Amino acid sequence: AVEKDEGSTFLKNELIRLYLEQNDYNAALDVALEIVEKQPEDVSSLVMLGGIYSALNQPAEAIRLYEKALAIDPSSENIHFLLGSEYVKAERSEEAAKLYESLIKTNPSSFAGHFYLGTLNASLKRYDEAEASLMKAVELNPEYDRTYFELINIYEATGKQDKVIQTYKDILEGNP
């Protein structure tokens, strides 16, 4: 049976979910703050609260919470992605790149680390580094179509039409 007192984290999480479904981020924020106040080291609560701050366009608060969550769970690819995204929103792209590089260093087979580092480097017009990261992402997860389209964007930006054509052909033939 579910504990039905006011302090029940389960019920509060359900309430937050309902508020978020209604796009009532301020009400969700109030409840999430209560949870984190009682459980300041709970990673999922920190990530949830960070997500609410992100939705409210408060990247500094989201970053603070994601950094705290990452310190507790340094191997989480999801937290790396969320924190990196907030760094980019806050125009701290170099910190995002270092974050993704640290994920790759601790887990060289991290598809997410290679993919996000590649797309970030592409956005920063570091095309050689971007291509290398995305090619590694393809090696790790050849089924993820978006990686090929990110590579195509790089090839188009760098005038490598032959690679654009070959990548499209490979996709169409089902053997990228």
Q: What share of the chain is helix, strand, coil (3-state, %, to 5)?
A: 75, 0, 25
What's residue 173's pLDDT?
Answer: 85
What's residue 51's pLDDT?
Answer: 96
DSSP letter assigned to residue 5 = S
Cα dihedral sign, 78-83-88-92: negative
Work out the number of other CB atoms within 10 angstroms of the CB of residue 32: 26
What's residue 152's pLDDT?
Answer: 97
pLDDT averaged over 10-residue windows placed end to end, the chain, 176 residues: 60 92 95 93 95 95 97 94 95 96 94 96 97 97 94 97 94 78
Q: Provide the whole-model pTM.
A: 0.83
What's residue 2's pLDDT?
Answer: 45
3-class DSSP string for 18-85: HHHHCCCHHHHHHHHHHHHHHCCCCHHHHHHHHHHHHHCCCHHHHHHHHHHHHHHCCCCHHHHHHHHH
Cα dihedral sign, 28-29-34-36: positive
